[in-house]
Structure 1
Amino acid sequence: MSELPDGLTRFLDRAGWAGAAIDPIPGDASFRRYFRVAEGGRKAMLMHAPPPHEDPQPFLDVAHWLAAHGQRAPEIVAEDAAAGWILLEDFGHDRMRDWLDENPGGEAGAYAAAIDALADLHRKPPGPFAPYDMATYQREVALLTEWYCPAMGLTVDEAGYAAAWEETLAPLLERQTPGVTVLRDYHAENIMLLGPAADGSGPQGLIDFQDALVGHPAYDLVSLLQDARRDVLVELEQAMLDRYIAAAAPGAHFEADYARLGAQRNAKIVGIFTRLWKRDHKARYLAMVPRVWEAMERDLAHPALAPVARWFDANIPRNIRDNFGGEIQ
Structure 2
Amino acid sequence: MTPPASAPAFLASAGWEGARIAPLAGDASFRRYFRVTDGEKRAVLMDAPPPHEDPRPFIAVGEWLSGHGFAAPEILARDLDQGLVLLEDFGDERVRDHLDHAPQDEHGIYRRAVDVLAEIHKLPPCDVPRYDREVYLREVNLLTEWFCPAAGLDVNMVGYVEAWEAVLPVVENDAAPPVTVLRDYHAENIMLLPDAERSHGLGLLDFQDALAGHPAYDLVSLLQDARRDVSVMTEATMLAHYKSVAPVSPDFDAAYAVLGAQRNAKIIGIFTRLCQRDGKPRYLDYLPRMWGLLHRDLAHPALEPVAEWFEANVPHKLRGVLKPEPRP
Common topology (TM > 0.5): yes
- One-letter amino acid of the structure 1 residue matched with residue 55 of structure 2: P
More deviation, 76-85/226-235: 76-85
Following superposition of structure 1 onto structure 2, how do residues 94-133 of structure 1 map, counting pairs within 5 Å?
94-133=93-132
Match of 2:65 in 1: 66
In structure 2, runs of 5+ residues without a counterpart are none
Instruction: State the Cα distance separating 1:46 from its structure 2 match.
Output: 0.8
Select which of 246, 249, 253 maps to 1:248: 246
Matched letter for residue 167 of structure 1: A
Q: C-alpha separation between the residues in 2 aligned to 1:224 and 1:20?
A: 36
Q: Percent identity?
A: 58
Secondary structure in structure 2 of the residue aligned to 1:192: strand
State the match for 2:77 in structure 1: 78
Q: Paired residue for 2:224, among 226, 231, 234?
A: 226
Q: What is aligned with 2:295?
A: 297
Report the secondary structure of 1:189's partner residue: coil
For the residue of structure 1 that corresponds to 2:81, the secondary structure is helix
CA distance in 2, matches of 1:112, 1:250: 17
Q: CA deviation at 1:326?
A: 4.2
Equivalent in the alignment of 2:313? 315
- With over 3 angstroms needed to count, the CA separation of the structure-2 counterparts of 1:261 and 1:47, relative to structure 1, is same
CA distance in 2, matches of 1:226, 1:40: 40
Q: CA RMSD in A?
A: 1.6
- State the TM-score, normalizing by the size of structure 1: 0.94
CA-CA distance at 1:262 after TM superposition = 0.3
- State the alpha-carbon separation in 1 of the partners of residues 239 and 2 from structure 2: 46
Task: Please state how far the C-alpha of 1:25 moved relative to its aligned partner.
Answer: 1.4
- 2:90 is aligned to 91
> How much does 1:118 deviate?
0.5
How many pairs align? 322
- Deviation larger for 153-162 or 172-181: 172-181
Partners of 2:40 and 2:184 lie apart in 1 by 32
Q: Distance in 2 between matches of 1:196 and 1:283?
A: 37
Task: Give, as a single letter, the amino acid of the residue that structure 2 aligns with 1:186.
Answer: Y
Alignment CA distance shift 1:142-1:176 (3 Å): farther
1:270 aligns with 2:268: yes
* Kept in 1: contact 2:170–2:254 (CA 8 A): no
- Could you say which residue in structure 2 is the equivalent of 1:156? 155
Q: Aligned partners of 2:311 and 2:2: how far apart in 1? A: 51
Residue identity matched to 2:74: E
Partner of 2:322 in structure 1? Answer: 327
Q: Which residue identity does 1:168 align to in structure 2? A: V
Counterpart contact for 1:9–1:18, Cα < 8 Å? yes
Q: Which amino acid aligns with 1:250?
A: V
1:8-31 per-position Cα deviation (integer Å, ceiling 9, x unaligned): 011001111111121111323221
Q: CA deviation at 1:177?
A: 6.4
Secondary structure, aligned partner of 2:128: coil
**TM-score, normalising length: structure 2:** 0.95
